[in-house]
Amino acid sequence: MNAKTILAVAALPFAAGCLSNVADFRDTVAEAKQSVFPSLVYISVVSESGSDGKIEKTQGSGSGVIASEKGEVLTNHHVIDRAARIRCQLTDGSSYEAKVVGSDKDLDVALLQLQAPEGTKFPAAKLTERKPEVGEVVLAMGAPWGLARSVSMGIVSCNDRYLENCGDYTLWYQTDAAISPGNSGGPLVDTHGYVVGLNARGNTRGAQGFTIPSPIILQVLPNLREYGDAHWAWLGIDWQPLRDFSKEAFFDAPDGVIVAGTDPQGPARAAGLEPNDRVIAVDGRSVTAKFREDIPALNRSLALSGWDRPLRLDYVRGSVTNSVAVKPAAKGATQGREAEFKRWGLTAKDINRFETPDLAFQAPDGGVYVSSLAWEGNADSAGFKRRDIIRKWDGQDVKSVDDLEKIYKAAVADVARKSRANVDILRGGRPARIVIDYRNDPEKDD
């Protein structure tokens, strides 16, 4: 037997073993895919938003996964945000209208209900509390680019990724499984056939994507069902970890978490907490956030504590330890309601301290701002600009879009007699008055 023959024979067991392992792995992937694939949902959405002085409809799509036999579907908030109509197609080709049961912008999670005949049972996937390991193989399922029923494969490249200004309450799973536009809301699945999270953020190249962990979704799911939102309690505190490499901020302290700032209208400011206070305990339980990756868990713990009673915060200011009672408030809506005022040629939106904090600073008691203008419409011609805060309309206080709708209805009904109004606004924090003439009817001009 020559050397070439010996090498070839020696290689046979190794090659056979490799082929066997590949086949076994393929079976594992196929089984995992089959466990969740029937629960995959392609979601088509007609949404509404203000543009060019009117509420316009746009078409979009995303993904979801059936989470219960009765037809509950989990997806991202941004997939169904401002939805006027939601249609869902399952992998067997059947389709259903869907209604929003609950939604949370902070976590970017939404719960839908398929509108099916009573008693209809659907194939449901199972979410797991288990945290996947770095390097673990996962499957991303969904409808990238509107192409339904797609599966990509990769690994978990990080299982505790912190994203600045993107999720106050969660760390993320990072994966190189392709997550492209349209994959949003689809499940990330482990090789055991369990959903480990909802895909939420990707890019057009699909290089790295980010997933909302299932354990956090399971924490807020009961609140989405009961209240229609995550039901967060709110203290109005921004936290700073003890060691923040990115900001070169390092505090010489063994424990606790630093108050970076407090919301002017928040409970913490009212209770007397100040920037640079170091909170060391909440209701007698020690708290520490050494790194920024520790902040989301702290936020989530406080936000799910409820607001039926004050929380006792022990803190250090200088060299003195103090305690203060902070009664959480309901966080409430994180974006304002928007409406169209066609005769005036504008859309207006409620000021929201989370969505438009700069406007909320100018108008701490709330109010309404111009969100879009019709080109050469009555409001545009009068001199209105986007983000003008409307304080009074012909002497009537405007505190909400509801108030403005009542004023508008009366003004349009009386337009034959009176077609001019004095409007008090704030622009860049400075008061001004605009006179609008709305005798021109845009519907007749069209």
Could you give phi then psi for residue 404, rounded to 5 degrees?
A: -65, -35
The reply to whether 178 and 248 lie within a common domain is no
Q: In this structure, what is the dihedral angle of CA atoms 174, 178, 182, 188, given to the nearest 10 degrees?
A: -50
Q: Are 243 and 291 in contact (CB under 8 A)?
A: yes
Catalytic residue among 61, 63, 78, 380: 78
pLDDT value of position 28: 78
Are 291 and 420 contained in the same domain?
no
Claim to verify: residue 146 and residue 27 sit in the same structural domain: yes
Does one domain contain both 217 and 276? no
The residue type of 116 is A
Rounded to 5 degrees, what angle do the CA atoms 269, 270, 276 make? 30
Q: Tell me the pairing of strands 329-330 and 233-234.
A: antiparallel
Judge if 251 and 224 occupy the same domain.
no
> Do both 218 and 354 map to the same domain?
no
Does residue 9 sit in the same domain as residue 138?
yes
Q: Is 372 a catalytic residue?
A: no
Nearest CA among 257, 202, 261, 211 for reference residue 236: 261
- Known catalytic residue at 108: yes
Segment 280-291, tens digit of pLDDT: 999 999 999 999
- SS3 state at 339: strand
Maximum alpha-carbon separation in the chain? 110
- Regarding whether 224 and 113 lie in a shared domain, the answer is yes
Q: How far apart are CA 334 and CA 385, in angstroms?
A: 24
Please write the tens of the pLDDT for every residue from 201-254: 886 565 789 999 999 999 999 999 999 999 999 999 999 999 988 888 899 999
Q: What is the count of structural domains for the chain?
A: 3
Tokens read off for 275: 């920037």
**What is the pLDDT, as a whole number, of residue 4?**
44
Same domain, 185 and 318: no
Active-site residue, selected from the candidate residues 184, 214, 371, 372: 184
Same domain, 142 and 85: yes
Which strand (E) or helix (H) includes residue 263? none
348 in helix, strand or coil? strand
- Asked whether residue 106 falls in the same domain as residue 204, the answer is yes
Q: For the chain, which residues score pLDDT lower than 70?
A: 1-23, 203-206, 445-446
Catalytic-labelled residue, pool 81, 106, 108, 388 = 108
Q: Last residue of a domain, which of 180, 211, 231?
A: 231
